[in-house]
Structure 1
Amino acid sequence: MARNDIEATQATCLSPEALQSASAFTGQEDGTVGMGSGQAKSETDTANFINFCAGRQLTDGKQVANGSCNGIPMGRIPASKKMISAIITKPGLGDKLFSNATFEITIQTRNLHAGLQANPAATYYSAPQDLDADGYVMGHCHVVIEEIGDLRSNAAPDPAEFVFFRGINDAGDGRGLLRAPVPGGLPSGIYRACTMVAARNHQPVVMPVAQRGAQNDCVRFVVAAGEI
């Protein structure tokens, strides 16, 4: 076998240094730390699920509307003291805005190295989450607005239906504040604006512990014609 062929073969093999032994266990074996009632068994694999997507529709950098399987590792996870959070500062809860008038959404983030967004048409989910030299997740923030009909609505909106969406590509003001203009505003209605903080390749950010504050925020507001 030629040297190039050997190197190519080695590059597609799981390194022993990357093998995580926890994947071989369900988490429900007798004596396992953290066991509790109502827990489900984890799926198991002795090779890091390296071939989990074999024979399935691969994501392969695309946004596959009919569903797909992505075999890319989750990647590097920050320390708990560097977990991400976000809060929408404008519009505020219950704010009333003029219809069809440009306004701005502002988002204060914490511990996000913002301004890094990969090509969503060709590299969607195609690389692991990564950290910068200081241990912060490198990524960006999306913002989406949905019409919900009532400030007290209890109906979960259809995620395929939204009136505004934007990925914020820039790094903000250097202190975590991000801005997203909504050109031309919105028609009269009741809306929900939400953040979706993501790593560089658009995957939701992965945090180090389960019990934590949320990394995203939503706010409900009103848009109306005439005097408000």
Structure 2
Amino acid sequence: MRLLISTVSILATSSALVVASAVLGQPILVRDEGGGKGSSTQTASAAAASATSASNATGSNGGGNDAQTSLTLDPAVIARGFETNGLGQNGSEAGEVASLTSSNNFINFCLTVPNLPITNGQQIAGGSCNPAPMGVIPSSSNMPSAKFVNPANLDTIPPNQDFTVQLAIQNMQTGFFVNADANYFAAPQQTNAQGQIQGHSHVVIEQLDSLSQTTPLDPTKFAFFKGLNDAAQNGVLSTTVQGGLPEGVYKLSSINTASNHQPLLVPIAQHGSLDDAVYVSCDIVVFRLFVGIYAGIKFTVSNNAGNGNGTGNANGNGNGNGTANANGNGNGNGNGNGNESGNGNGNGNGNGNGGNGGNGGNGKGQRRTFRSGMGIGFH
């Protein structure tokens, strides 16, 4: 009986606190010590305290109460793993830093940065703190990925002319985007019945100094930006770059996001890129005229007398020992075995032009000299 009376007294005291809170119009903190390690903190508002405190204590919002409108944290969704900082545990690595910890899912985290405004669905360039939960994380088999179809990597595009950007995308239900001026980062990531993230994509084009540039770009500067808000057609999103781009070198990147424009969240740390990037040039294609002068090697075919001692193979590196087989525009075959006397001492010095070797002796005979021509080509 005494135990029963004590229990009733405790409940009465709790009820009195709730009523007092409702009268004063101030929230109270009710500590729930039940279940698992650590503790959790529930915050009750004046409007909802009396209606939800008992149901939240059991991890349920039954009795017609909506957990999504309640101002209390349901113990059923408290992540106990948030209470550990990760150091010295399985899988820890050298150099890791301690994680922030919380026993109440960080519900009041933004109070730790009082100098920052609440994001509140706005795009605040000066920075803010966002209290929205991260939301639903897909399975690893539902991680999105994308690849540019057009333009292809290293394509050359005519400058200042319209062109179409096409992005193939998979494992994401596209066509989901909210008002970026009122609901930016304002809701958790969501998935469809197939477990795919619901969201949309963007394409951004940034100008480079060159294709070999290694300095990071300034994210506040870009040549083109467009949200790809429509649902993909046959798995492809597309948009037109009106007026094209000036001459130059550019990087095209995709930015895949969830419905509320937040970056995609996936279940594992080690994964391929969820986005794509290609590099293109906008240039006037010039067909350059050039004259190719084929400097054919001069060579002689002779029946001069003499035992010409030299069989030069003038192959550009000039091992000229006589008979110049000039691999330019002709084969000079002059072994100099003539029918008249003569002492030919041909120690040819082939200096890349087929050699000066192999005059094949001093005698009478016939000489025929050959030269190459000139050609014109396009490049």
TM-score tier by shorter-chain length is over 0.9
Runs of 4+ in 1 over 3 A off after TM superposition: 1-4, 7-10, 225-228
Structure number with greater CO (CA < 8 Å, separation at least 6) is: 1
Counterpart secondary structure, 2:178: coil
Q: What does residue 47 of structure 2 align with?
A: 5
User: AA paired with 1:48?
Assistant: N
RMSD: 1.9
Q: Percent identity?
A: 36
CA contact (8 A) 2:161 2:244 kept: yes
Q: Quick one: which of 186, 189, 199 aligns to 2:248?
A: 189
Q: What does residue 260 of structure 2 align with?
A: 201
CA contact (8 A) 2:190 2:198 kept: yes
What are the equivalent positions in structure 2 for 1:69-218 lying under 5 Å apart? 69-173=129-233, 175-218=234-277
Q: What does residue 293 of structure 2 align with?
A: none
1:34 aligns with 2:91: yes
CA contact (8 A) 1:94 1:151 kept: no
Q: Distance in 2 between matches of 1:5 and 1:169?
A: 39
User: AA paired with 2:48?
Assistant: I
Q: Distance in 2 between matches of 1:5 and 1:14?
A: 15
Q: CA deviation at 1:227?
A: 4.5
1:47 aligns with 2:107: no
Counterpart secondary structure, 1:23: helix
CA contact (8 A) 2:132 2:186 kept: yes
Counterpart secondary structure, 1:53: helix
Q: Deviations for 1:121-170, whole angstroms, at most 9, x for unmatched residues?
A: 00000000000111100000011000012111101100000010011111
Q: Distance in 2 between matches of 1:60 and 1:197?
A: 22
CA contact (8 A) 2:151 2:280 kept: yes
Counterpart secondary structure, 1:81: helix
User: AA paired with 1:189?
Assistant: G
Q: Distance in 2 between matches of 1:198 and 1:151?
A: 27
User: AA paired with 1:187?
Assistant: P
Q: Distance in 1 between matches of 2:142 and 2:49?
A: 37
Counterpart secondary structure, 2:147: strand
Q: CA deviation at 1:176?
A: 2.1
Structure 1 residues 92 and 9: alpha-carbon distance in aligned structure 2, compared to 1, 3 A threshold:
farther
Aligned residues: 225
CA contact (8 A) 2:157 2:281 kept: yes
Normalising to structure 2: TM-score of the pair?
A: 0.57
Q: Quick one: which of 102, 108, 124 aligns to 1:64?
A: 124
Q: Distance in 2 between matches of 1:70 and 1:129?
A: 14
Normalising to structure 1: TM-score of the pair?
A: 0.93
Q: Distance in 1 between matches of 2:171 and 2:103?
A: 34
User: AA paired with 1:39?
Assistant: E
Q: Distance in 1 between matches of 2:129 and 2:175?
A: 27
Counterpart secondary structure, 2:82: helix
Q: What does residue 221 of structure 1 align with?
A: 280
User: AA paired with 1:76?
Assistant: V
Q: CA deviation at 1:47?
A: 0.8
Q: CA deviation at 1:171?
A: 0.6
User: AA paired with 1:217?
Assistant: D
Q: Distance in 2 between matches of 1:210 and 1:8?
A: 43
User: AA paired with 1:221?
Assistant: V
Q: Distance in 2 between matches of 1:9 and 1:153?
A: 62
Structure 1 unaligned blocks of 5 or more: none
Structure 1 residues 179 and 8: alpha-carbon distance in aligned structure 2, compared to 1, 3 A threshold:
farther
